[in-house]
Structure 1
Amino acid sequence: MDAMTLIAVASIVTAGFTTSIGCMMPAVGEGRAVSSALTSLAQQPDASATITRTLFVGLAMIESTAIYCFVVSMILIFANPFWNHVISQAAGK
């Protein structure tokens, strides 16, 4: 297996793991955050505005983690900097 094939396989596998774990874990975090917010709203309905605002900010931050993982996986698949390095090393030989 040459270097290009090895880098391609490693990039695709890494992108798959990044996307799968990067989507599962934020989904679990969002579920737990919503569950805690609903429990808090049931116990203190007077604080609903504060709880809801804080919930939405927290959900946005959790979701940004999933978006970053998606961006990293797309970079590994379509704009991999390691391929350019290997091509330049092969041209120098």
Structure 2
Amino acid sequence: MKLEFANVLLLCLVLSSSFLEISMAGSPFCDSKCAQRCAKAGVQDRCLRFCGICCEKCNCVPSGTYGNKDECPCYRDMKNSKGKDKCP
């Protein structure tokens, strides 16, 4: 009985982690564009996180690793709570 319970519990943990990973994954478009955008960032994990948030909301990411924000006005105009640019 204990072995069956342990197996069921282990199965539930594996399945729940799979669903969590899928739900946290970004779109392939945003992942690839943000990887290019953040290629030269000093703090890549933070750059990728904020770029992903902005990309999901705006459906675009400016070209290059810096600047060119006029290509995507939504991305350019997003601000954080302090009034500074949210998107890298």
Q: What is the TM-score of this pair, normalised by structure 2? A: 0.36
Q: Relative contact order (C-alpha < 8 Å, sep 6+): which is higher?
A: 1
Q: Which has the larger radius of gyration?
A: 1
